[in-house]
Amino acid sequence: CHQWGYGEEDGPSAWHNDYPIAQGNRQSPIDIVPTETVYDASLAPIMLSYDLCTSVNISNNGHSVVVEFDDVDDRTAIRGGPLENAYRLKQFHFHWGGKGCHGSEHTVSGKTYASELHLVHWNSAKYKTFGEAAAAPDGLAVLGVFLEGSTADFRGFSPKCLLPNSLNYWTYPGSLTTPPLHESVTWIVLKEPILVSEKQVGKPPAVATDGEVPNAVVQRRGGGQKRMENNFRPPQPLKGRKVRASFN
């Protein structure tokens, strides 16, 4: 199967070899330039029903740390905003840099954040499975949340505690930011970052890139486990897409 990563040989600039869609017309992430976004008063607020969310597992898939949810019904869903119907929460995961800097995928006028949280939802009204939705142009909706370094509490464990006060957002048609890079994502990126503690953001989660979830990743010389960091794709060409703002 295709091996891809974030290194010199297998990183974002090489992905097009195995995934030609990498050079497609609706690739993500992008650089969001607020002065070039269009305020769309018809955009409804987004509504998140995360109260009854049931997380199932946390895993390291070699590219990120992923928390999966049981997605058997629409208890845990996102609706409203640019979406025609409810999209069911499947998983959330993070992208981060090394040593707490430049880890976000989306940027705002070139500004990078320390990390970016992605809450991945699929269109369960139109598709039977996540896999089917992941390949369809209106199949997925990913809520992107910037993480900035500071101190904040992280009580409880509903994804709701991972959200900022304001749900003002930008939205645009895009793609998965990792292979297979399907152009199936309606991106909803919140403008307000959430603050997480320096020590959490400063040090990327101790995960290795070989899929093991070690209790502490050791930096071995020459091969062996490598600390997973800089697992972000750089911004991609807008190719004429319009980025709409839910706020003025």
Ligand X SMILES: C[C@@H](CNC(=O)c1ccc(S(N)(=O)=O)cc1)Cn1ccc2ccccc21
> CB of 227 within 8 A of CB of 206?
yes
| Alpha-helical regions (H) of the chain | 15-18, 130-134, 198-202
Binding region for ligand X (CB under 6 A) out of 9-17, 71-79, 170-178, 205-213: 170-178
Cα–Cα dist 14/136, whole Å? 24
Q: Percentages helix, strand, coil for the chain, rounded to the nearest 5?
A: 10, 30, 60
Please give the single-letter amino acid code of residue 106.
Answer: H
Q: Is 130 in the site for ligand X (CB under 6 A)?
A: yes
Q: Is 147 in the site for ligand X (CB under 6 A)?
A: no
79 or 90: CB nearest Zn ion: 90
- Tokens standing for residue 172: 């645009």
11 or 180: CB nearest ligand X: 180
| Residues shown for the chain | 248
Q: Which of 63, 106, 121, 182 is catalytic?
A: 63
Q: Is 231 in the site for ligand X (CB under 6 A)?
A: no
Q: Is 118 in the site for Zn ion (CB under 5 A)?
A: yes
DSSP per-residue string spanning 114-131: SEEEEEEEE-TTT-SSHH
118 or 182: CB nearest Zn ion: 118
Q: Is 106 in the site for Zn ion (CB under 5 A)?
A: no
Residue, CB closest to ligand X: 131
Q: Which residues bind ligand X (CB under 6 A)?
A: 118, 120, 130-131, 134, 142, 176-178, 180, 185
Active-site positions read 63
